[in-house]
Structure formats: C-alpha cells, structure tokens
A and B are shown apart, each in its own frame.
Chain A
Amino acid sequence: MSFSSKMALKYIKTQKKHNIFIILSIASALMLVTFIFTLFSSFYSTMLYNERQKFGYHGMVHQITLSDYEKLTKSEMITKSEFDSYGPADTSGVAYVNFRNDIYDPETFIREFAEDNFEDKEYSLSFHEELLEYEIIGIHAKASLAKKLVLILAIVLFILFCARFVIDTAFEISSRDKEVQFGILASLGASKNQIAAIIMWQGAFLSVIGIPLGLALGTAAGGLVFSFADSTSVISYFTQSDRYCEGIFSVSVPYLIVAAIIGFLWVILSAYGTGRRYSAKSPIESIMQNNKKIIKPKKSRPSKKASGKVSGLALKNIRRDKKSFFVTSLALIISYTLISLFSVFFGIWIEEHRLSMSHNMLSENIADDYRIYHYSDDNPDNDVEEMEEAYRILENCPAHLYVSSVQRCNVIVTKDSYTLRETLPFSKEYLEFNEKVGWGTTMRFYFLNRQFYDDIFAERSGISYDELVEKNGFVVCGTEDVLETYANDEKVKFEGSPLVTGGDSLSLNLYDISGKIVSTNTEVNLLASIRGVGKFTTLSKSISLIGAEDCLKNLNGGVIADSDGVTEFMIGLPRDNSVSLWRVDKAFRDYLKDYPQFEIPQLQDGDTEQIIKTEQQFEPVLTLIGVVIAIITVIAFVNFINIISTGIMNRRKEIASLTSIGMTRWQLFRMLLTESVGYTVTAGIIALGIAVAATFFMNSYAIRMNFDSLYFYSYAVVPPLLSALGGFVISAVTILVSLKIFDRVSVAEEMKTIE
C-alpha cells in the first residue's frame, strides 16, 4: 500500500465522527442524484408503457388500398404493420404502422413513398405523436426531446452542483481538523500530491460505503415517491390521459452506473480540490495554525461606536475571514434555495393532484355528462338531445366542482346557448372550422350578464359594463397560433348580438382517435376582452379569461355570472379556497348568501363520501412530501451546524482569550450569534432572490406545460424566509451547545491545549 493510502486508512480508523459525516454527505448527495434519476426513469417507462398500451402503433394511413398497403409493408423503414379494412368486402381500410428508429421524418417518408408507389393517392395520415416522441422516432420527436433535455439537464446540473457542494463541505470540514497534521507531514517531506492523495484515498475508501448507500436510499426514495404517485392520479396527469394509467417503476441500471460514476468522480474531485488547497499552504503556517492574515485598518471606514461592543466584534470577525463568510453563506444559500424550490415544486404538484382528483370526481359524479362532452359517439353538434342531456346534467352539477376543474371561469352554460349558436355571425366560420377539424369538436358559450356585472363585477373591477363594451367589443382569443390566425380576421370579430349581452365564447377542442384531447392549441375562446384596459396576454394555452386578468385580480373572491333566466352559475375562487373542496363549498355558500335568488346545490351523500375519500387519499402524499422536504432541511442544517461548530472549534484559543479578559458567556453567545445572523440574513436575502427568480421560470415552464394550477403564480417567498429563521434558531442552539462544551474545560487549560 502506498503511503497516502496507509495514512488515509489511519485517519479513517481514528476519525469515526468525520467518517460518518463524510459517508452521510456522499450518501445524501448520491441519494439526491439517484432519486431524480429513478423518478425520471420511472415516469419515462410509465409514459412509454401507457402510450404503447393505449395504442401500439406510430401512425395510421387512412383510406389506403390493400395493394398499396402491401407495397408499404415492403419498405425497410416499416418494422411492424397491420391492415384493417373498412368492411368485409372493402379493399380499402386503415394501415397501422411502426417505423424504424432511424427514420428522419415519418410523415415525409410516407408522403414520398406514396408519391412514388401508391396507386391511390387519396389517403390521409395521422400519427401517434406521443409514442413517436417517447421512442424518439423522427426529427420532430428529436427536436422535442432536445428541448426537454435542456430543462432536464439544467435540473440535473443544479442537483449535481448541490451534490458536489455537500461533498466539498464534508471534506473541507474533515480536512480543517487535520490541517496541523498536513503541515507536519509536509515539513517531513510529504509532497503536495501525497497530501492530496491522502484525502483522495480517504474519499475513495468512504465512497465504498457512501455510494452504494446513496444509490440504495435514492432508489428507495424514488420508489416510495413513485408508488405514492402511482396510488394517486398524478401519473394520469403526466401521461395526459383521461383514464387510469399503470405506473411502471423502473430502476435503470445505466442511470445507477452513471450516478455512481458521477458520485465517485465528485468525491475524488472534491477530495483532490480540498487536498490541493491544504497542501498548497505553507507547512509552518499550517502547523502554527497561522495563516498570517494581515487585517488592514479600513481608513475609509471610521470605527463605529458599535465596534467596542460584541456586535462590533462580530462584524469585525465576519469581515476578517471573508472566505469563511463566503463559503458558509454559499452553503446556506444553496440549502435555502433547494428547500424553497422543492417546497414550490411539491406545492405545484399537490395543487395539480388536488385538481386532477376533483376533475376525476367530476367525471365520476356526472359520468354521463363527461362521456357525452368528451367521448360522444356521434357528433354532438348534430345531436340536440344528447347536448340537452349534457346541459341538464351540468345544471345539476355542484358548481364548485366544475369550477375546480375549469378554474377562474366566470361563465355559464345553458341549453339556450346551444340554440343560440346558430344565430351568431361567425357560426359559418365556426362550422367551417368544425368541418375541417372533423367531428369531436364542441361548442360552449359563456355569458356575462349586465345586471350581475354591474352588481358584482363592475364594482370590484372598477370598470363599468358600458365602459367595457365601449372600449373593447369582443375579440377572438386563445393560444398564440390560433390567435394569430383569428385575431386580425375581421370575419371572426364579433360586435355583439341581441341575444348576447356581455361576452361570448367559442371553444373548440380537438380529439384524437382514442378520444383524448390532442392539444389545447386547438381551443379557441371568444371572451369579453378588456383590451386597452388589461393586457392582451394569454396565461395559458387552455381556457382563461384572456384580457380580463386585471378585473379578476380585483375580484378577490370570485366572479358570478349568469345568462338569461339565471338558471345556473359558476364561481371562480382564489387558489387557497379551491384546493379544498370543503372550503370551496363553504366559500361558495358564503359568497352567495347575499343573493337569495340563487338556489345553491346541495352536496349529495355520494359526493360527501367521495370528498372524504379523496382527501384521505391525499394524506400519505402530503406526509411523504413533508418527509422529503424534512430530509433536505435536515441535510442542509446538519451542514450548517458542522460549519458553525467547526468555525467555533477553530477559534477556541481566541474565544478562550476573550473569556480570559473578562468576556461573559452571554457576550460570547451574542457575538457568535450576531455572526450567524450575518450569514443567515445574507443567505436568506440572496436565496429569496434566486428562489423567486427560479420559481418564475418554473411557473413559466409549468404554464407552457398546461399545469392548471398555475393560473395562479406561486413564488417561493415564505420557504426562504422560514429557512433563514430556521438557520438562525439552529445557529443559536449550536452556539449554545458549543459554548457549553467549552465550559467543561477551564480557560487556562483551553489555551494550554491549543498551544
């Protein structure tokens, strides 16, 4: 064995506490990385599996003849295919096909192939975009994957940075205690590389325990979180499916190997970096524990009155060791930011989960309506009876449940709106669009009544009804691409109608062959816009009161609206009230108590049971999230405790000197606490900035991903402030404990020991 490895083993044998700390640091860093990898792997496997289960082919060629199909199957780019004729005697049908992984663009391929080979060119194509994307087939899938990879990479890099920092801090703390011994070794002739190698070997030996432990814990944590996710409807949300999706927990061996390699690399790099730092010090300075730092008098800063007091002394201490201040603050900033981001991330997740549950409840409670609305076998536009049935069920639907799924919707649906459609000036365009898109589109109309607008909306929004109409009129709004198509099209501009008093909306949803909404991109809303008053922006690609945001902000409790005859209503509530169905119900009733003309729907027994069941189902998820955040918090604070206690231990002589000249324990405590406040306040402020900025981007991304809950932005303000407060409390306790330990040894002995 080499000198360095022998020394490393000696240190490992004699410094058990340090070993445990380093192992835990390595394990927690690896756990973080493995946890993310495991979740990613499991969600990916789940999405892939469910897409395959849903429909196992990449694409379909409609109206293809059998002979053309046979030609197509001979192409080397087709790996699997099936033909389904339209009828027993029909030679044409649908061809289901799968492509080779290296195909450039499936659509171009089919078109070119058809151009060259098909006898009948009257065919149409559709693709299973999700499956293509998950299997990374085709240029579009690759481009989409590249975009997602950038985000994933950013998250992974951030996690890796945090992991590296945790390991770095562990080695720094462990090595600081050995600084004198490194000095002795250097003075005896140990080279810089040998000293660095001691720490590297130490890291390598401890990795043997730390890395497998981290991998196991990370996998277990990932499995636990995923199993909870699987037991709820979160997975269905991520797979964007309306039905239950089976979760596939996947432990990816390549990911584990990558995590282990990264972990080992981080350990070695951290150990090497620490080793180089310590070996670069002068042996004598290390032995004397004297870095010969000259503290220059600050001419530009006249000494303040406080300088004679303990707070002044604390500030001087912070100023004299800027590196320590920087390292400690950075550790805290990272910890606070991590805690904050995880809190917000889980907050969004909880919100999504609640929403998806209430959405599911809606579908369970009024399944018929839901079926008709989304999955009608016939074109609902042509089936008045079916539509009327849907509206009848909607009328009986507890409004808040519906609101939970729609969010912020101040609109109403009545059966009148169905017949009304025909009278609209843009119905022709709508019908054309409907024709182009195919069946499966639905039309909804939303109204804003003058009387109620004046009663409620106008007062809170500060904009009168007349002003609203005068300034704005009605515009087509929706997602950017649709907006571009329609916004400047005079034909679809709606200037009002005798039957529509306030606003109007047209909603078009596209469905794929499985009945799933392909994309909200196809949704078009015609809403009362307050263009010129509020900003003309979209919060999301799905339904929202575009342009009326400022009004909504002023409402603070919700909006109520009706149609002619006031048959039913809906209410939009702030997120805090909408997360709990019970609270929604209460808020809803409280809100409407001044309007006795409304009949408030009663919860049915079945609803009550369902609500209780749903909320109970959520408890373990909340517990788990609490545990995850608690783990991160514990790691962060253990790190902080180590930094503070090591800092105090390094200054034992100085503290003993101060005590010997009459500083009381209380004064010492205040001095050290003031230093810690410096760290926690600085870190808290910076973490607050980072967390708010990071959540802004997180929100923006989530909005693009159509997270319903993010109609309400969620910024990480409370978590960093709470973390800073936690840091302060922890530092106070650590200082008290450290001083208590000092009390056991007399000042003289303490100074002698240091000598």
Chain B
Amino acid sequence: MEILKVEGITKIFGKDENVVTALDDVSFTVTKGQMVAITGTSGAGKSTLLHIIGGVEKPTKGKVFLGGEDVFSKNDKNLAVFRRRQVGLVYQFYNLIPMLTAEENIILPSQMDGRRPDEERLKKLAEMMGISDRLSHLPSQLSGGQQQRVSVCRALYSSPMLLLADEPTGNLDSKNSREIIALIRKTNKELKQTVILVTHDEDIALQCDRVIKMEDGRIIRDEVIK
C-alpha cells in the first residue's frame, strides 16, 4: 500500500546569480512498512528531500502526499500538527532539548498535543531501545548512543506513519552505529514502521529494503535490495 508519494519536488535556494538547485524534479513513492535508504554524495540533496518530506522545509515546486494527504496544502498550524503526529524525525546531532530529561524529551510531541503521556508506549519503546534506566537523565548525562536512542524513541512515540532519519549514525562510533541501525530495523520489522533513512554509508544502505541514490538534486538510481 502506497503511503508516501513525492511528486516533482524542486527546491531552489538563493536568488539571481546565487541560485542553488538543491532538488530538481524529484518523484518517487514509498509503500507501507518499507525501509528506504537515500544515499548520495554531500550536496546531493538527500537531507533537503528528507526535510521536505518531514514538513520542516517547504519545496519550491511539487507535492508530497502522506497517507493520501497533500502535506503542503496545510496551513502552518496543521503542518505543525502533521509533524507532531504523522512523522518522526531523527537527526545526526540528536537534537534533544538539554534541560528536559530523556523521558520528557520523548513525550514532548504528546505534550504539544495536550495529551496525557502514554506510559505503556513509553515503557515499551524505552525497553526496545534499551534506555529504561536512563529515562530520568538529562541529555548531558547520556552517551551519544543513548542520546540517539532517546531521539529515536521520541520520533516513534507518536506512532508516526513515517520515521525519517537524517544520518542517524553520523555522530556515533561503529558499535553504536550498528546498534542504532539494528534498532531502527527492529522497529521497521516489529512495528511495521515505514522508515526513510538518509545515509552515505553503503553498508547501512544495503540493510534497507530499497536504496534511492541521488546526485545533484536528482534521483539517479532507485533499486530494491530485498
């Protein structure tokens, strides 16, 4: 079942002689439960594409449909709600709020919604990520790997349609990298979570169901691995 449809996305930064075309008419679809890797060299447009899919960056042209809904037809408020409920973002530098504990960071999206924290879901995710004993710690008291686990937990907490990970292992050592990818893979398998992962690591990409390779803002290859 098609869950994501990216249609003719173009993103241009700058004006006049300083124009940079980050994405040039990019289109593809993703089906539910798929784990897709987007690879490419630096400046290929992978992160920009991921940010547009996540609704944190607006395209210059084109459309993104998630679950059949046109993401950018929403107003600012609904777009914020979309980010809160429909997608989960994991960044290279974790991006945790430093003065909130791990638990508070994880439940942030539900708090934004004004909902009571789902203790069961929190417990389940924390166990899955192996951070149950670290929930009351501040980010500064956690290792890089633990912080990234918290970040993944937070992204999954709202049961998003799509988990978007932007170089999630870029700031981690090889051991932690393997563990984080394994965890993301686990969520993909066990929770049927659809994942799009940006990486320049070929080994990580090969662990995904499908690899989209980009260059100069265009898709130059799109192949199913398994």
Question: Which of A's residues lie within 8 Å of B, judged by CB?
Answer: 2-3, 6, 10-11, 13-15, 180-181, 184-194, 282-284, 287, 292, 294, 296, 755
Chain B stretch 108-150: residues in CB contact (< 8 A) with chain A: 108-109, 111-114
Residues from chain A with a CB closer than 8 A to the CB of B100 are 10
CB distance from A547 to the nearest CB of B (A): 65
- If A2-B114, A284-B51 touch, whether A189 touches B57 (CB-CB below 8 Å) is no
Contacts of A15 in B (CB 8 A): 99
A188 touches B57 (CB 8 A): no
Q: Which of the residues B15, B80, B98, B99 comes within 8 Å of A186, measured between beta carbons?
A: B80
- Bound together, the chains give a CA A14 to CA B98 distance in angstroms of 9
Whether A190 contacts B14 by the Cβ 8 Å rule is: no
Contact between chains at B57 and A294 (CB < 8 Å): no
Distance A13 CA – B51 CA, assembled complex (angstroms): 32
- Taken together as a complex, chains A and B put the C-alpha atoms of A32 and B109 apart, in Å, by 42
- B89 in complex: contacting residue of A11, A14, A187, A191, CB < 8 Å: A187
Contact partners of B109 in chain A: CB under 8 A: 188-189
B80–A190 touching, CB < 8 Å: yes
| Complex alpha-carbon distance, A2 and B111, angstroms | 8
The answer to whether A188 touches B108, judged by C-beta atoms less than 8 angstroms apart, is yes
Q: How far is the CA of A194 from the CA of B98 in the complex (A)?
A: 19
Report whether A282 and B57 are in contact in the complex, using a CB–CB cutoff of 8 Å: yes
Q: Which chain A positions have C-beta within 8 A of B56?
A: 186-187, 282-284
10 cross-chain CB contacts under 8 A: A10-B100, A184-B96, A188-B84, A189-B81, A189-B109, A189-B112, A190-B112, A282-B56, A283-B57, A292-B14
Interface members, chain B 19-65 (any A CB < 8 Å): 51, 54, 56-58
Cβ B15 vs Cβ A192 within 8 A: no
Bound Cα distance from A364 to B99, whole angstroms: 70
- Identify the B interface with A (CB < 8 A): 13-15, 18, 51, 54, 56-58, 76-77, 80-85, 89, 91, 93, 95-100, 104, 108-109, 111-114, 154, 158
* A188 B18 Cβ-Cβ under 8 A: no
CB proximity of B106 to chain A, nearest CB, Å: 11
A-chain residues with CB within 8 Å of residue B77 when the two chains form the complex: 191-193
A289 to chain B, nearest CB (A): 11
Instruction: Among B15, B83, B99, B114, point to the contact of A11 (Cβ < 8 A).
Output: B99
Min Cβ gap A368→B in Å is 77
The answer to whether residues A185 and B108 also contact, given A2-B114, A14-B99, A284-B56 and a CB cut-off of 8 A, is yes
Least distance between A129 CB and chain B CB atoms (Å): 61
Q: Are A191 and B80 in contact (CB under 8 A)?
A: yes
CB-defined contacts of A192 to chain B, threshold 8 Å: 76-77, 80
Instruction: Report yes or no: A287 in contact with B91, Cβ–Cβ below 8 A.
Output: yes
The answer on a CB contact under 8 Å between B76 and A191 is yes
- A contact patch SS: helix
Please report the C-alpha to C-alpha distance between residue A287 and residue B57 in the assembled complex, in whole angstroms.
12
- Option from A181, A194, A284 in Cβ contact (under 8 Å) with B97: A181
Q: Report the Cα distance A357→B100, complex, angstroms.
A: 64
Query: Which residue of the partner chain B has the closest CB to A13?
Result: B99
Contact (Cβ within 8 A) A184 B95 = yes
A181–B100 Cα distance when bound, in Å, is 11
Are the CB atoms of B99 and A10 closer together than 8 Å? yes
Bound Cα distance A755, B77 (Å): 30
In the bound complex, CA of A189 to CA of B79 (Å): 8
Is A294 a contact of B80 with CB atoms below 8 Å?
no
Find chain B residues with CB under 8 A from A287 CB. 91, 95
A189–B76 touching, CB < 8 Å: no
Which residues of chain B have C-beta atoms less than 8 A from A2's C-beta?
114
- Apart from A187-B89, A188-B83, what are 15 other A-B pairs with CB-CB below 8 Å? A3-B114, A6-B111, A14-B99, A185-B108, A188-B108, A189-B81, A189-B112, A189-B113, A191-B81, A191-B112, A192-B76, A193-B77, A287-B91, A294-B15, A755-B93
Measured in the bound complex, the distance between the Cα atoms of B90 and A287 in whole Å is 13
Bound state CA distance, A193 and B99, in angstroms? 21
Residues of chain B lying within 8 A (CB to CB) of residue A294:
14-15, 18
Contacting residue for A187 out of B13, B83, B114, CB 8 A: B83
Whether A189 pairs with B80 at a CB distance below 8 angstroms is: yes
Contacts of B154 in A (CB 8 A): 188
Alpha-carbon separation in the docked complex, A66 to B222 (Å): 113
- Minimum CB–CB distance for A196 against chain B, Å: 12
**Bound: A187/B86 CA distance, A:** 12
Chain B: minimal CB distance from A587 (Å): 66
6 residue pairs, one from A and one from B, having the closest CB atoms: A189-B84, A191-B80, A14-B99, A189-B83, A3-B111, A283-B56
Give the CA-CA distance A287 to B56 in the complex, in Å.
11
Complex alpha-carbon distance, A284 and B49, angstroms: 12
Q: How far is the CA of A11 from the CA of B82 in the complex (A)?
A: 26
**Which chain A residues lie closer than 8 Å to B13 at the CB level?**
292
Task: Name the CB-closest residue of A to B110.
Answer: A3
Complex Cα spacing A11 to B108, Å: 15
Closest residue of B by beta carbon distance from A282? B57
Q: How far is the CB of B3 from chain A (nearest CB, A)?
A: 19
A473 and B27 alpha carbons, distance in the complex (Å): 97
A2 to B91, CA, bound (A): 26
In the assembled complex, which residues on chain B have CB atoms less than 8 Å from the CB atom of A14? 98-99
Cα distance A40–B59 in the bound complex, in angstroms: 57
With the chains together, A184 CA to B51 CA distance in Å?
12
Give Cα distance in the complex from A195 to B27, angstroms.
Answer: 33
Q: Which residues of A contact B114 (CB under 8 A)?
A: 2-3
CA A188 to CA B155, docked complex, whole Å:
8
B58 cross-chain contacts in A, Cβ below 8 A = 282
A10 and B111 alpha carbons, distance in the complex (Å): 14
Query: How far does the alpha carbon of A282 sit from the alpha carbon of B48 in the complex, in Å?
Result: 12
**Which residues of A sit under 8 angstroms from B93, Cβ to Cβ?**
755
CA distance A292 to B11 in the complex (A): 14
Once bound together, how far apart are the Cα atoms of A282 and B58, in whole Å? 9
Q: Are B111 and A187 in contact (CB under 8 A)?
A: no
- Chain A residues with Cβ below 8 Å from B51 are 284
- Return chain A residues, CB-CB under 8 Å to B89: 187-188
Specify which chain A residues have a CB less than 8 angstroms from the CB of B83 in the assembled complex: 186-189
B14's nearest neighbour on chain A, judged by CB, is A294
- Find chain B residues with CB under 8 A from A186 CB: 56, 80, 83
Complex Cα distance A6/B117, Å?
Answer: 14
A294–B100 Cα distance when bound, in Å, is 35
| A180, B98: Cα distance in complex, Å | 11
Chain A neighbourhood of B158, CB < 8 A: 189
| Chain B residues within 8 Å of A6, by CB | 111
Q: How far is the CA of A184 from the CA of B83 in the complex (A)?
A: 11
- A301 to B58, alpha carbons, bound, how many Å? 35
Is the CB–CB distance between A187 and B95 below 8 Å? yes
- Measured CB to CB, the nearest residue on chain A to B155 is A188
Given contacts A3-B112, A184-B95, contact A189 B18 (CB under 8 A): no
Question: Which residues of A lie under 8 Å from residue B112 when comparing CB positions?
Answer: 3, 185, 188-191, 194
**Bound complex: CA A284 to CA B109 (Å):** 17
Measured CB to CB, the nearest residue on chain A to B160 is A189
Q: State the CA gap A287–B93 with chains docked (Å).
A: 10
A71 to B91, CA, bound (A): 91
Q: How far is the CB of A182 from the nearest CB of chain B, in Å?
A: 10
Give the complex CA separation of A190 and B91 in angstroms: 17
Residues in A neighbouring B82, C-beta threshold 8 A = 189
Q: Do residues B95 and A296 form an inter-chain contact, with CB atoms below 8 A? A: no
Output the residue of B84, B96, B99, B113 with the most chain A CB within 10 A: B99
Residues of B within 8 A of A187 (CB): 54, 56, 83, 89, 95
- Taken together as a complex, chains A and B put the C-alpha atoms of A194 and B56 apart, in Å, by 16
A180 to B112, CA, bound (A): 18
What is the chain B residue whose CB lies nearest that of A193? B77
A747 to B112 Cα, complex, angstroms: 38
Q: How far is the CA of A2 from the CA of B77 in the complex (A)?
A: 17
